Amino acid sequence: MALSKRLRSVIIAACGTTLLVTGTLVGNPLAMADPLSDAQAQLDEIEAQRSAIEQSYNDSQLRQSKAEAQKESLSSDIADTQTKIDAMKPAAIYIVQMQQQGAGIDLTASFLLNDSPENFLSQMQTAATVTSLINDQLSSYVSQINHLNALNETLAGTISDIKAEVATQQKLLAAAQVKEAAAQTVVNRLTSQQRMTLQAKQQVVSPQHAAASSSRAQTVLNFALAQVGKGYIMGTAGPVTFDCSGLVMAAYAKVGIYLPHSSREQFNYGTPVARADLQPGDLLFFYSPIHHVGMYIGNGMMVHASNPRTGVHVTPIQGSYSGARRLI
């Protein structure tokens, strides 16, 4: 049966309205999205990226610290070797001059070239002739010079490594600032009420924590909780600001346990603990590979230094949990 033109128009209009309503209520995810949940998801993703940058920064600082220690050791070795060379140099020059002139070096000269009569007699017991004694002295002198050259070459490489690490850290700091700006942009898009709600979720004002199992663990826990409200700066370990591994490092130093300033390195300390067996003071690690650490305080809560927006705060155990370690 043929439909009239007017009826067809009404049906088409009705279908169009239905499609529009359906698209608005069901088909368009943006219309149903929760701005706060969306912002939190974006912040979580940014935080994972920024935390990885922090880990790289701290690892670079550890490498720089080791290189600085190596530089100091090399400098000391170079000074000692140079002292030996300076002491041997007059004798070596004398020997070379005599050889160039075609003159022999008798026992008297050999005696004078030694530091002491006892040293001379000791060397003569092992050297068959004066010539072999002189060759030993020259060989030792050349060996020390070669050793000094090798030390200087290693030192130059170490200094180059230090400069490279400093440059790497500058780049990582810049990258972290980009992530922090991106996170702030996400927050700025929210209404004031939404920002207050987000902040309330990220910060537990009055943390409820359980008692630690020992006095040492309690000392660690008390220190960490006393830092709540302090600021976050990447690469710091107190007393005014902390990053995640810096907070843990400072807390455990209070009981004589000295950890590296790296969450990934800290995971190698202590013994593994199942999540169901967590006790206050245990270290909690996040992401894979690991690049964040916090401290368990009981009741499913943790204290940690997250980022510049939140500083040191108490929150429920966050996602991306990787494992836990017990040091006490």
Q: What positions carry a catalytic annotation?
A: 244, 292, 304
In order of 68, 89, 166, 199, 311, the CA distances from 157 in angstroms are 12, 28, 14, 48, 38
The answer to whether the CB of 168 falls within 8 A of the CB of 60 is yes
The answer to whether the CB of 141 falls within 8 A of the CB of 95 is no
Provide the β-strand partners of residue 283: 295, 325
Tell me how far apart the alpha carbons of residues 195 and 147 are, in angstroms, rounded to a whole number: 64
Beta-carbon count within 10 A of 187 CB: 15
SS (H, E, C) 98-162: HHHCCCCCCHHHHHHHCCCHHHHHHHHHHCCCHHHHHHHHHHHHHHHHHHHHHHHHHHHHHHHHH
Main-chain phi, psi angles of 134, to 5 degrees: -65, -40
Tell me how far apart the alpha carbons of residues 258 and 237 are, in angstroms, rounded to a whole number: 12
Q: Residue 326 has which token pair? A: 């017990």
Q: Residue 182 has which token pair? A: 């991106």
Q: Residue 76 has which token pair? A: 């000391």
Q: Which residue has the tokens 């950890």?
A: 259
Tell me how far apart the alpha carbons of residues 199 and 215 are, in angstroms, rounded to a whole number: 33
Residue 1 has what DSSP assignment?
-
